[in-house]
Amino acid sequence: MADIGFGWGGVILAGVTDSDDVPAWQRRTAGESRVAATAAVLAIVVLQLALPNQFLPEPAWLLPALETVLLGFLVVANPVRIDREETWLRWGGLILIGLLALATAWSADRLVVGLIDGTLSGEPAKLLATGGAIWLTNVVVFGLGYWEFDRGGPAARAHARQTLPDFLFVQMQNPELAEPDWEPQFIDYLYLAFTNATAFSPTDVMPMSRWAKTMMMAQSAISLILAALVIARAINVLQ
């Protein structure tokens, strides 16, 4: 997970300041605690292991094992706060996100195909539980993705490498309504992913860059397909 996030190092942007008169998200800070993001990755691994083997590439233990090992490596390399900017750490975070996304995409594909061709179990409770787990995994993975890529990742944000946000939070527009040290952290991106998956559109967080809009469109489409097919199939079985 990124350490899940680290800037590409190097050049300090013009105008960046450590002054308390500048909002925290626009100046250098101590860096975000990695606890929440680490817990999110572990939750995804647990959900993957709880799924039937048919929903993960064979061997089913391989991707969860790789994710766990890579997560452990990143935690050891940057254990407390995500503020260390190293290219190899950045790539480690991106690879972890890629593995999580690959496993989620595979699970979603197997679920959709199984629902369409009728090969999945006719047990509605099991179907809803499996669909719910995959839907939840999708939400958390996209939350990690938003968190990892916004303004270069959490380490780059800690060093204020980029001043233009990819996601515009309410606290950025109305700093007088936020704590002086407020800056977006993982839970804010997880909230963004959850509301986008349920409302199928932005709510109070606006995507500013094209990649952010593209990711949100993809997440909304996946969530809509999963919810519609799983619920429709479960109702059909119950009838």
Phi and psi of 162, rounded to 5°? -125, 130
Contacting residues for 64 by C-beta, under 8 A, at least 6 apart: 45, 48, 49, 56, 103
Identify whether 79 is preceded by a cis peptide bond (ω within 30 of 0).
no
Tokens 């292991």 sit on residue: 49
User: How confident is the prediction for the chain on average, in pLDDT?
Assistant: 86
Q: What was the pLDDT predicted at 7?
A: 37
In the chain, what percentage of residues exceed pLDDT 70?
89
pLDDT tens digits, residue range 173-204?
888 888 888 999 999 999 999 999 999 888 89
* DSSP secondary structure of the chain: -TT-------PPPTT----TTS-GGGS--S-EESHHHHHHHHHHHHHHHHS-GGGSPSSTTHHHHHHHHHHHHHHHHS-SEE----HHHHHHHHHHHHHHHHHHHHHHHHHHHHHHHT-S-S-HHHHHHHHHHHHHHHHHHHHHHHHHHGGG-HHHHHTT---S-SEE-HHHH-GGGS-TT----HHHHHHHHHHHHHHSS-SSSEE-SHHHHHHHHHHHHHHHHHHHHHHHHHHHHH-
Give this prediction's pTM. 0.87
Residue 185, classified by CB atoms within 10 Å of its CB into exposed (0-12), middle (13-18) or buried (19+), is middle
Per-residue CA distances from 237 to 98, 115, 120, 168, 174 (Å): 35, 11, 11, 43, 49
Residue 8 has pLDDT above 50, yes or no: no
**C-alpha–C-alpha distance, residues 50 and 73, integer Å:** 24
Q: What was the pLDDT predicted at 2?
A: 44
